[in-house]
Amino acid sequence: MMLFRSEEEVDAWSRRAGRPQGAIVPMPQLQRLATAWYGDRLDPRWRPRTTAMSQALLTEVGLTGDLWRLA
């Protein structure tokens, strides 16, 4: 994961590095994912999610498509 201030910076980095762009995820969306993904880890009742539960969480925060498909 790399953080950039704008899509223009992503474009410039991609050209300089000679690498294709990956997914661009806005910071608020990334924060929603992190909060949902890790927010309950200190709960003593925490249990690992199933693949289906993790997929539902990605979908819930708007990360869909082939790149975000877990199974």
Distance between CA 3 and CA 6 in Å, rounded? 9
Length of the chain: 71
DSSP letter assigned to residue 49: P
The answer to the question of residue 13 being in a domain is: no
* Phi (first) and psi of residue 48, to 5 degrees: -60, 145
The answer to the question of residue 65 being in a domain is: yes
The answer to the question of residue 45 being in a domain is: yes
Total structural domains within the chain:
1
Average pLDDT over residues 27-33: 96
Average pLDDT over residues 53-59: 97
Distance between CA 35 and CA 28 in Å, rounded? 11
DSSP letter assigned to residue 65: S
Per the structure, the complete domain to which residue 58 belongs is given by: 25-71
**Mean pLDDT, rounded, of the chain:** 95
Distance between CA 56 and CA 54 in Å, rounded? 5
The answer to the question of residue 16 being in a domain is: no
Which pTM value belongs to this model? Answer: 0.81
The answer to the question of residue 30 being in a domain is: yes
